[in-house]
Amino acid sequence: MRNPIVILVVVVALSAVAAQADQTFKGPHPHAEFEDEIGTCRQYVQSNAHWNHSTIFVSETFPRDRTYVSMNVTSERAGAVKLILRRREEDVMQQAKLKSFGHGGKGENFVDTTFTDASSEADPFPVWASGAPFTGSWLPEVPLSSIDGTSRGKWTLMAFSRDGKAFHTPKIESFSLTFCEGEEPEVTAQGGVVVAPMEPLTKPVVDYPAPQSWASAPKPVYTGPNLFAKGTLRRFWTGAARTVADVTANYNEANFYVQQVKAVQDMAKRMKDGFKKGGK
Ligand SMILES: *[C@@H]1O[C@H](CO)[C@@H](O)[C@H](O)[C@H]1NC(C)=O
Ligand SMILES: *[C@@H]1O[C@H](CO)[C@@H](O)[C@H](O)[C@H]1NC(C)=O
Protein backbone atom coordinates (compact mmCIF):
# COMPACT_ATOMS: atom_id res chain seq x y z
CA MET A 1 0.00 0.00 0.00
CA ARG A 2 3.06 2.24 -0.18
CA ASN A 3 2.46 2.90 -3.85
CA PRO A 4 0.61 6.26 -4.21
CA ILE A 5 -1.24 4.97 -7.27
CA VAL A 6 -2.61 2.03 -5.30
CA ILE A 7 -3.69 4.39 -2.52
CA LEU A 8 -5.34 6.70 -5.07
CA VAL A 9 -7.20 3.79 -6.64
CA VAL A 10 -8.36 2.62 -3.22
CA VAL A 11 -9.54 6.12 -2.26
CA VAL A 12 -11.42 6.53 -5.56
CA ALA A 13 -13.00 3.09 -5.13
CA LEU A 14 -14.04 3.86 -1.56
CA SER A 15 -15.64 7.18 -2.52
CA ALA A 16 -17.47 5.42 -5.33
CA VAL A 17 -18.83 2.91 -2.79
CA ALA A 18 -19.74 5.76 -0.41
CA ALA A 19 -21.46 7.64 -3.24
CA GLN A 20 -23.43 4.53 -4.11
CA ALA A 21 -24.31 4.01 -0.46
CA ASP A 22 -25.52 7.62 -0.29
CA GLN A 23 -27.65 7.08 -3.33
CA THR A 24 -29.03 3.88 -1.83
CA PHE A 25 -29.98 5.46 1.43
CA LYS A 26 -31.68 8.54 -0.01
CA GLY A 27 -35.31 8.57 0.96
CA PRO A 28 -38.14 8.65 1.11
CA HIS A 29 -38.85 5.59 -0.98
CA PRO A 30 -41.73 5.63 -3.46
CA HIS A 31 -44.49 3.11 -3.10
CA ALA A 32 -46.89 1.13 -5.24
CA GLU A 33 -50.48 0.74 -4.09
CA PHE A 34 -52.67 -2.30 -4.71
CA GLU A 35 -55.66 -4.12 -3.28
CA ASP A 36 -55.51 -7.61 -1.88
CA GLU A 37 -58.48 -9.75 -0.73
CA ILE A 38 -58.73 -7.87 2.53
CA GLY A 39 -57.78 -4.26 1.87
CA THR A 40 -55.44 -1.68 0.41
CA CYS A 41 -51.70 -2.32 0.54
CA ARG A 42 -48.64 -0.19 -0.05
CA GLN A 43 -45.38 -1.68 -1.16
CA TYR A 44 -41.90 -0.18 -0.87
CA VAL A 45 -38.97 -1.77 -2.68
CA GLN A 46 -35.26 -1.50 -2.04
CA SER A 47 -33.76 -3.06 -5.14
CA ASN A 48 -30.21 -1.82 -4.63
CA ALA A 49 -29.11 -3.24 -1.32
CA HIS A 50 -25.87 -5.28 -1.66
CA TRP A 51 -24.94 -5.23 1.98
CA ASN A 52 -25.68 -7.02 5.27
CA HIS A 53 -28.17 -4.33 6.21
CA SER A 54 -30.44 -2.25 4.07
CA THR A 55 -32.91 0.52 4.75
CA ILE A 56 -36.21 1.74 3.34
CA PHE A 57 -37.40 5.22 4.31
CA VAL A 58 -41.14 5.60 4.59
CA SER A 59 -42.52 9.12 5.01
CA GLU A 60 -46.24 8.28 4.85
CA THR A 61 -48.31 7.18 7.77
CA PHE A 62 -50.30 4.21 6.55
CA PRO A 63 -52.06 1.58 8.70
CA ARG A 64 -50.09 -1.53 9.46
CA ASP A 65 -52.80 -4.09 10.14
CA ARG A 66 -50.61 -6.51 8.26
CA THR A 67 -46.89 -6.21 7.52
CA TYR A 68 -44.98 -8.27 4.96
CA VAL A 69 -41.23 -8.18 4.52
CA SER A 70 -39.84 -9.97 1.47
CA MET A 71 -36.22 -10.43 0.50
CA ASN A 72 -33.57 -11.89 -1.75
CA VAL A 73 -30.52 -12.62 0.36
CA THR A 74 -27.47 -14.56 -0.75
CA SER A 75 -25.84 -16.71 1.88
CA GLU A 76 -24.00 -19.96 1.59
CA ARG A 77 -25.50 -21.21 4.83
CA ALA A 78 -28.96 -20.12 5.95
CA GLY A 79 -28.41 -21.57 9.43
CA ALA A 80 -25.56 -19.10 10.00
CA VAL A 81 -27.86 -16.15 9.29
CA LYS A 82 -30.09 -14.25 11.69
CA LEU A 83 -32.59 -11.81 10.19
CA ILE A 84 -33.96 -8.81 12.03
CA LEU A 85 -36.32 -6.05 10.95
CA ARG A 86 -35.97 -2.75 12.75
CA ARG A 87 -38.15 0.35 12.68
CA ARG A 88 -36.85 3.69 13.82
CA GLU A 89 -38.99 6.79 14.08
CA GLU A 90 -37.27 9.73 15.69
CA ASP A 91 -35.94 8.33 18.98
CA VAL A 92 -38.11 5.24 19.09
CA MET A 93 -36.48 2.07 17.89
CA GLN A 94 -38.22 -1.29 17.80
CA GLN A 95 -37.22 -4.54 16.20
CA ALA A 96 -38.47 -8.06 15.58
CA LYS A 97 -36.42 -11.15 14.94
CA LEU A 98 -37.58 -12.72 11.70
CA LYS A 99 -35.33 -15.78 11.78
CA SER A 100 -32.83 -17.04 14.30
CA PHE A 101 -29.60 -18.91 13.72
CA GLY A 102 -29.88 -22.61 13.02
CA HIS A 103 -33.07 -22.70 10.98
CA GLY A 104 -32.43 -23.56 7.36
CA GLY A 105 -29.16 -25.37 8.15
CA LYS A 106 -26.83 -25.64 5.20
CA GLY A 107 -29.48 -24.36 2.79
CA GLU A 108 -28.22 -21.74 0.36
CA ASN A 109 -29.81 -18.33 -0.25
CA PHE A 110 -33.19 -16.81 0.43
CA VAL A 111 -35.15 -16.21 -2.76
CA ASP A 112 -38.41 -14.27 -2.53
CA THR A 113 -38.59 -15.17 1.14
CA THR A 114 -41.46 -13.40 2.88
CA PHE A 115 -42.15 -13.02 6.58
CA THR A 116 -45.66 -12.19 7.76
CA ASP A 117 -47.81 -12.76 10.84
CA ALA A 118 -50.70 -13.75 8.54
CA SER A 119 -50.92 -17.35 9.72
CA SER A 120 -53.37 -18.29 6.98
CA GLU A 121 -50.58 -17.65 4.47
CA ALA A 122 -47.42 -18.50 6.38
CA ASP A 123 -45.82 -21.55 7.98
CA PRO A 124 -43.02 -21.74 10.55
CA PHE A 125 -39.62 -21.23 8.92
CA PRO A 126 -38.12 -24.55 7.72
CA VAL A 127 -35.68 -26.16 10.12
CA TRP A 128 -33.90 -28.20 7.46
CA ALA A 129 -31.76 -27.26 4.46
CA SER A 130 -34.18 -29.09 2.16
CA GLY A 131 -36.40 -25.97 2.38
CA ALA A 132 -33.79 -23.90 0.47
CA PRO A 133 -34.02 -21.39 -1.15
CA PHE A 134 -36.94 -20.72 1.21
CA THR A 135 -39.27 -19.19 -1.34
CA GLY A 136 -42.65 -18.58 0.24
CA SER A 137 -44.28 -17.04 3.30
CA TRP A 138 -42.99 -17.78 6.76
CA LEU A 139 -43.95 -16.77 10.26
CA PRO A 140 -41.38 -14.52 11.88
CA GLU A 141 -39.78 -15.68 15.12
CA VAL A 142 -41.21 -12.60 16.82
CA PRO A 143 -44.49 -11.30 15.39
CA LEU A 144 -44.17 -8.21 13.24
CA SER A 145 -47.17 -6.86 15.14
CA SER A 146 -44.83 -6.45 18.12
CA ILE A 147 -43.45 -3.42 16.28
CA ASP A 148 -46.14 -0.81 16.77
CA GLY A 149 -46.79 2.44 15.00
CA THR A 150 -47.70 3.20 11.43
CA SER A 151 -45.72 2.60 8.27
CA ARG A 152 -43.76 5.79 8.81
CA GLY A 153 -40.13 5.39 9.79
CA LYS A 154 -36.73 4.15 8.81
CA TRP A 155 -37.02 0.41 8.25
CA THR A 156 -33.82 -1.60 8.28
CA LEU A 157 -33.42 -5.24 7.39
CA MET A 158 -30.32 -6.71 9.02
CA ALA A 159 -28.68 -10.02 8.15
CA PHE A 160 -26.25 -11.13 10.85
CA SER A 161 -23.64 -13.79 10.35
CA ARG A 162 -23.13 -16.27 13.19
CA ASP A 163 -19.37 -16.59 13.04
CA GLY A 164 -18.57 -13.12 11.78
CA LYS A 165 -16.39 -14.61 9.04
CA ALA A 166 -16.26 -12.31 6.02
CA PHE A 167 -16.89 -15.09 3.49
CA HIS A 168 -19.96 -16.15 5.43
CA THR A 169 -21.46 -12.66 5.47
CA PRO A 170 -24.96 -12.77 4.03
CA LYS A 171 -25.77 -10.17 1.39
CA ILE A 172 -29.16 -8.54 1.03
CA GLU A 173 -29.67 -8.17 -2.72
CA SER A 174 -33.09 -6.57 -2.50
CA PHE A 175 -35.99 -6.38 -0.13
CA SER A 176 -39.49 -4.98 0.04
CA LEU A 177 -41.97 -3.94 2.69
CA THR A 178 -45.71 -4.19 2.26
CA PHE A 179 -48.14 -2.62 4.68
CA CYS A 180 -51.82 -3.52 4.41
CA GLU A 181 -55.08 -2.31 5.81
CA GLY A 182 -57.50 -4.81 7.29
CA GLU A 183 -56.68 -7.63 9.65
CA GLU A 184 -56.63 -11.18 8.43
CA PRO A 185 -59.54 -13.31 9.66
CA GLU A 186 -58.78 -15.24 12.80
CA VAL A 187 -57.70 -18.78 12.10
CA THR A 188 -57.87 -21.79 14.38
CA ALA A 189 -54.98 -24.15 14.90
CA GLN A 190 -56.62 -26.61 12.49
CA GLY A 191 -56.69 -24.00 9.77
CA GLY A 192 -60.45 -23.45 9.89
CA VAL A 193 -61.69 -19.89 9.80
CA VAL A 194 -63.51 -18.84 12.96
CA VAL A 195 -67.09 -17.82 12.17
CA ALA A 196 -69.58 -15.87 14.28
CA PRO A 197 -70.01 -17.43 17.72
CA MET A 198 -72.82 -19.98 17.94
CA GLU A 199 -75.83 -19.86 20.21
CA PRO A 200 -75.08 -21.74 23.41
CA LEU A 201 -76.26 -25.34 23.04
CA THR A 202 -78.38 -27.04 25.68
CA LYS A 203 -76.16 -29.29 27.65
CA PRO A 204 -77.04 -32.96 26.99
CA VAL A 205 -78.02 -34.95 30.07
CA VAL A 206 -76.04 -38.13 30.41
CA ASP A 207 -76.92 -41.00 32.75
CA TYR A 208 -73.78 -42.63 33.88
CA PRO A 209 -73.99 -46.24 35.17
CA ALA A 210 -73.67 -46.60 38.92
CA PRO A 211 -70.12 -47.11 40.02
CA GLN A 212 -69.21 -50.79 40.13
CA SER A 213 -67.49 -52.35 43.09
CA TRP A 214 -65.21 -55.32 42.84
CA ALA A 215 -64.20 -57.70 45.63
CA SER A 216 -60.58 -57.07 46.24
CA ALA A 217 -58.34 -60.02 45.56
CA PRO A 218 -54.83 -59.93 46.93
CA LYS A 219 -52.33 -59.58 44.20
CA PRO A 220 -49.93 -62.52 44.06
CA VAL A 221 -46.51 -61.43 45.16
CA TYR A 222 -43.23 -63.21 44.59
CA THR A 223 -41.66 -63.95 47.94
CA GLY A 224 -38.68 -66.03 46.92
CA PRO A 225 -35.10 -64.93 47.45
CA ASN A 226 -33.86 -61.93 45.64
CA LEU A 227 -30.81 -63.31 43.91
CA PHE A 228 -29.38 -59.83 43.53
CA ALA A 229 -29.72 -58.90 47.18
CA LYS A 230 -26.60 -58.64 49.27
CA GLY A 231 -25.78 -61.84 51.21
CA THR A 232 -28.01 -64.13 49.11
CA LEU A 233 -25.11 -66.40 48.24
CA ARG A 234 -23.84 -66.44 51.81
CA ARG A 235 -27.33 -67.24 53.13
CA PHE A 236 -27.70 -69.99 50.52
CA TRP A 237 -24.48 -71.77 51.58
CA THR A 238 -25.18 -71.26 55.27
CA GLY A 239 -28.65 -72.75 54.73
CA ALA A 240 -27.20 -75.64 52.74
CA ALA A 241 -24.58 -76.37 55.41
CA ARG A 242 -27.25 -76.28 58.11
CA THR A 243 -29.40 -78.70 56.12
CA VAL A 244 -26.45 -81.10 55.76
CA ALA A 245 -25.77 -80.85 59.50
CA ASP A 246 -29.45 -81.43 60.33
CA VAL A 247 -29.73 -84.39 58.00
CA THR A 248 -26.57 -85.90 59.45
CA ALA A 249 -27.82 -85.35 62.99
CA ASN A 250 -31.18 -86.88 62.12
CA TYR A 251 -29.50 -89.85 60.49
CA ASN A 252 -27.35 -90.44 63.58
CA GLU A 253 -30.37 -90.10 65.85
CA ALA A 254 -32.43 -92.49 63.73
CA ASN A 255 -29.54 -94.90 63.68
CA PHE A 256 -29.30 -94.70 67.46
CA TYR A 257 -32.96 -95.66 67.82
CA VAL A 258 -32.56 -98.45 65.29
CA GLN A 259 -29.65 -99.79 67.37
CA GLN A 260 -31.76 -99.51 70.51
CA VAL A 261 -34.65 -101.43 68.94
CA LYS A 262 -32.22 -104.04 67.63
CA ALA A 263 -30.66 -104.41 71.10
CA VAL A 264 -34.09 -104.90 72.68
CA GLN A 265 -35.00 -107.44 69.99
CA ASP A 266 -31.74 -109.28 70.52
CA MET A 267 -32.32 -109.35 74.26
CA ALA A 268 -35.86 -110.61 73.74
CA LYS A 269 -34.57 -113.30 71.41
CA ARG A 270 -31.91 -114.34 73.91
CA MET A 271 -34.47 -114.51 76.70
CA LYS A 272 -36.76 -116.59 74.52
CA ASP A 273 -33.93 -118.94 73.58
CA GLY A 274 -32.86 -119.23 77.24
CA PHE A 275 -36.45 -119.97 78.22
CA LYS A 276 -36.74 -122.67 75.57
CA LYS A 277 -33.48 -124.20 76.72
CA GLY A 278 -34.46 -124.07 80.30
CA GLY A 279 -37.88 -125.58 79.42
CA LYS A 280 -36.35 -128.69 77.91
C1 LIG B 1 -35.99 -11.23 -5.88
O2 LIG B 1 -35.36 -11.38 -7.11
C3 LIG B 1 -36.25 -11.61 -8.21
C4 LIG B 1 -35.43 -11.87 -9.43
O5 LIG B 1 -34.48 -10.84 -9.61
C6 LIG B 1 -37.20 -10.45 -8.35
O7 LIG B 1 -38.13 -10.71 -9.38
C8 LIG B 1 -37.97 -10.28 -7.05
O9 LIG B 1 -38.80 -9.15 -7.12
C10 LIG B 1 -37.00 -10.11 -5.88
N11 LIG B 1 -37.74 -10.08 -4.65
C12 LIG B 1 -37.58 -9.18 -3.71
C13 LIG B 1 -38.39 -9.35 -2.50
O14 LIG B 1 -36.79 -8.25 -3.81
C1 LIG C 1 -22.14 -6.01 8.46
O2 LIG C 1 -20.77 -6.21 8.17
C3 LIG C 1 -19.89 -5.34 8.87
C4 LIG C 1 -18.49 -5.58 8.37
O5 LIG C 1 -18.19 -6.94 8.24
C6 LIG C 1 -20.03 -5.61 10.36
O7 LIG C 1 -19.20 -4.72 11.08
C8 LIG C 1 -21.47 -5.39 10.78
O9 LIG C 1 -21.65 -5.73 12.13
C10 LIG C 1 -22.38 -6.27 9.93
N11 LIG C 1 -23.77 -5.97 10.24
C12 LIG C 1 -24.64 -6.92 10.47
C13 LIG C 1 -26.04 -6.49 10.64
O14 LIG C 1 -24.31 -8.09 10.52
The neighbour count for residue 153, using CB atoms within 10 Å, is 21
Give 224-235 pLDDT, tens digit per residue: 767 777 777 888
87 and 155 in contact (C-beta within 8 Å)? yes
pLDDT, one tens digit per residue, over 80-139 is 899 999 999 988 999 999 999 988 888 999 999 999 998 888 889 989 888 889 999 999
**φ and ψ at 276, to 5 degrees?**
-60, -45
Whether the model pTM is above 0.75: no
Q: Which ligand is nearest to the CA of 136?
A: 1
**Residue 256 reports pLDDT greater than 50:** yes
CA of 164 relative to ligand 2 center, distance in Å: 8
Q: What is the mean pLDDT of residues 181-205?
A: 65
Ligand closest to 53 (CA) is 2
pLDDT bucket at 49, cuts 50 / 70 / 90: confident
Q: Which CATH number fits domain 26-180: 3.20.20.370, 3.40.50.300, 2.60.120.260, 1.10.3720.10?
A: 2.60.120.260
Q: Residue 178 above 80 pLDDT?
A: yes
Q: Specify the pLDDT at position 25.
A: 47
Whose Cα sits closest to atom 7 in ligand 2? 164
Spatial separation of the C-alpha atoms in residues 202 and 7, rounded to whole Å: 86
Locate the domains of the chain by residue range. 26-180, 231-273
Ligand 1 site: residues with CB under 6 angstroms?
70-72, 112, 174-176
Mean pLDDT of the 174-181 span: 94
Please tell me the distance from the alpha carbon of residue 186 to that of residue 192, in angstroms, as a whole number: 9
15 CA distance to ligand 2 middle (Å):
19
CA 158 to ligand 2: nearest atom: 13
Atom of ligand 2 minimally distant from the CA of 166: 5
Query: For residues 48 and 86, what is the distance between their CA atoms, to the nearest angstrom?
Result: 18
